[in-house]
Chain A
Amino acid sequence: MENKVVQVRDLAAAYRKNTVLHDVTFEVEKGTLTGIVGPNGAGKSTLLNTILDLHPRLSGDVKFFGKPFKNVKKKIGYVPQRGSVDWDFPTTAIDVVTMGLYGQIGRLRRPRRHHREKAYEALRKMGMEFYADRQISQLSGGQRQRVFLARALVQDADLYIMDEPLAGVDAQTEQAIMAILKELKKRGKTVMVVHHDLQTVEEYFDSVLLLNRKVMHYGKTKEVFNRENIAQTYGGNMRWFGKEHRDEFTVHE
């Protein structure tokens, strides 16, 4: 029981009348690094939004650490898609990172010096300390993603849920982020990441959840991430160059 960080049972969700997700059932164990993979429109972001109560669910049951989300919010760090916010907002990198602490700071209180120091430390960890006072519109895509990661780090959560943190970032940022994710895993944290690049799944994640409106396959990457399962998930709409198997096949979306 204590090992189960996320338990999702029979989850279903819809936009208006279109069911996007149905019969979603899976459990995530402590200390794993799970990639959530699937074609466009498979409901990857909806899955994250629904388990985090950001999108209404039609049915099903979601537990984190054996409890409903609202009782364990502080143990969960969520990283939304980079494109979901307005980067012209008048604020600085350090300010955005400090926002990760707003839950801990509590109502009617202001961030103090030690909060800002914590935020600065997280920025430093992401190699962004020289950009602390930069207005966020002046940051590149990769730098913005690092700011988002730093913001999640300050939350000091036990479970991290990230929506496409590696989409459209430079190689250096990708490495920096993966190094952090692996470090989190080493410290016993659990990480779930929506991921778009099939080529790197084997290298990055120890578990993989293949999603296409329902859970197509889920388990250890070594066991489930094979050509057959991927083809089934993508229904032919795929482009994949398996690194180890040297088999290449592409089908355009």
Chain B
Amino acid sequence: MTYAGWIILTASLVGLTCGLIGVFLILRKMAMMADAISHTVLLGIVVAFLITRELHGSHMLIGAVLAGILTAFLIQWLHSLGVEHHASMGIVFTTLFAIGVILIATSVGNAHLDIQHALMGEITFIPWNTITLPLIGQIPEATALLGLAFVIVLFFIIAFYKEWKITSFDPKLAASLGIPVVAMHYLFMSLVSVTTVASFDAVGAIMVVAMLITPAAAAYLWTDKLSGMLVLSGSFGVIAAVTGYYIAAWIDTSISGSMAFATGLIFLVSFICAPKHGMVGRLIRPAEVV
């Protein structure tokens, strides 16, 4: 595949995976949790590197999942001690992120882990760093990691579809029916972590938040069905990725920045035009009599 082809494929996988998981971030009213986890997975990656002295996909995934679960757990714990929820989020994620930054700046500094890279990602370099997989052949490592993350996320969404639905909509009823609400919460946090760390190389910790939240928030405006929202959000993610690439190529600028910008455009269009919940839709449709 061509150089540009790999970049577009990788970016699309970011858009697709983030779009799917983002739907539940929105519906569970946890959008800011994406911001928190996208920062703390850095600590997971650094610690995984310190232990194994290698920067491999699988180590990074495990480190990120542990960091994500730790983040969710600490936030919950602080909150249970009486700290306001958003404050406890702010305290936990900045502290864990800071530890990650300190570790990078000291002991791991000379490895190819650097803060700039972690925050912004560098999708243009992705095709250089390849691995060889059986059957598929040589592909960029970041692409393989994203493919894996996509399969994991898709598997869990489909396998526990009705459990996601009920725990997002009515956790109290779910608990009274014997559905493990807390376990689902931590599983979800793990999936967010997997998605985030897989997207790290491509878009970095900050832009991944745009990919997680904005396509899902836009999809929310178009549909009345959960399945429809998932399909739309994933599609919006891919569209934003491809559009972003061409915008970046056109005006010769950052690809990840352009992708995030494209998600913003999609949201804007949705906000104005969506027939169900958009501005125009609200103007045209008479107020419903209930």
Contact = CB atoms under 8 A, between A and B. Distances in A.
Interface of A: 16, 49, 52-54, 70, 73-74, 76, 78, 80, 84-86, 89-92, 95-96, 99-100, 102-103, 105, 107-108, 110-111, 135, 137-140, 143, 151, 155
Nearest to A69: B176
A85 B170 contact: yes
Given A80-B173, A105-B162, A110-B161, 14 more contacts: A52-B175, A70-B178, A73-B176, A73-B177, A73-B178, A76-B176, A85-B169, A90-B223, A91-B224, A99-B166, A99-B169, A99-B170, A103-B178, A107-B163
State the main secondary structure of chain B at its contact with A: helix
A58 to B, nearest CB: 15
Contacts of A137: 224
A110 B176 CA distance: 19
Contacts of A76: 176
Contacts of A78: 172-173, 176
Name which of A53, A70, A102, A107 has the most chain B CB atoms within 10 A of its CB: A102
Interface stretch (B61-69, B115-123, B225-233, B242-250): B225-233
B165 A91 contact: yes
A82 to B, nearest CB: 11
Contacts of B168: 89
Interface string B162-192: 1101101110111111110000000000000
Given A90-B224, A90-B226, A102 B163 contact: yes
A135 B224 contact: yes
> Which 7 pairs, one residue from A and one from B, show the smallest C-beta to C-beta distance?
A103-B177, A135-B224, A140-B290, A78-B176, A73-B178, A80-B172, A85-B170
Given A102-B163, A108-B159, A110-B161, A89 B176 contact: no
B290 to A, nearest CB: 4
B288 interface: yes
B176 A102 contact: no
Q: Which of B176, B177, B224 has the most CB of A within 10 A?
A: B176
Contact of A53 (B27, B159, B175, B288): B175
Contacts of B93: none
Contact of B179 (A52, A74, A86, A103): A103
A102 B179 contact: yes
B220 interface: yes
Contact of B175 (A54, A85, A155): A54
A52 B224 contact: no
Given A89-B168, A90-B226, A52 B176 contact: yes
Interface of B: 27, 29, 82, 159-163, 165-166, 168-170, 172-179, 220, 223-226, 228-229, 288, 290
**Which of A99, A138, A139, A143 gathers most chain B CB within 10 Å?**
A99
Contacts of A53: 175
Contact of A84 (B163, B172, B290): B172
Contacts of A92: 224-225
A208 B181 CA distance: 32
Contacts of B166: 99, 102
A160 to B, nearest CB: 11
Which of B178, B224, B225, B226 gathers most chain A CB within 10 Å?
A: B224
Contacts of B224: 90-92, 135, 137
A178 B225 CA distance: 31
A84 B176 contact: no
Nearest to A16: B82
Contacts of A89: 27, 168-169, 226
A92 B161 CA distance: 16
A139 B29 CA distance: 22
Contact of B170 (A80, A139, A140): A80
B23 to A, nearest CB: 9
A22 B285 CA distance: 52
A96 B228 CA distance: 16
Contacts of B161: 110
Contacts of B29: 86
B281 to A, nearest CB: 13
| Most-contacted residue by chain A among B223, B225, B228 (CB, 10 A) | B225
B162 A110 contact: yes
A96 B229 CA distance: 17
A76 B172 CA distance: 13
B172 A99 contact: no
Nearest to A110: B162
B170 A90 contact: no
Nearest to B181: A54
Which of A84, A90, A137, A138 has the most chain B CB atoms inside 10 A of its CB? A90
A102 B226 contact: no
Nearest to A108: B159
Nearest to A17: B82
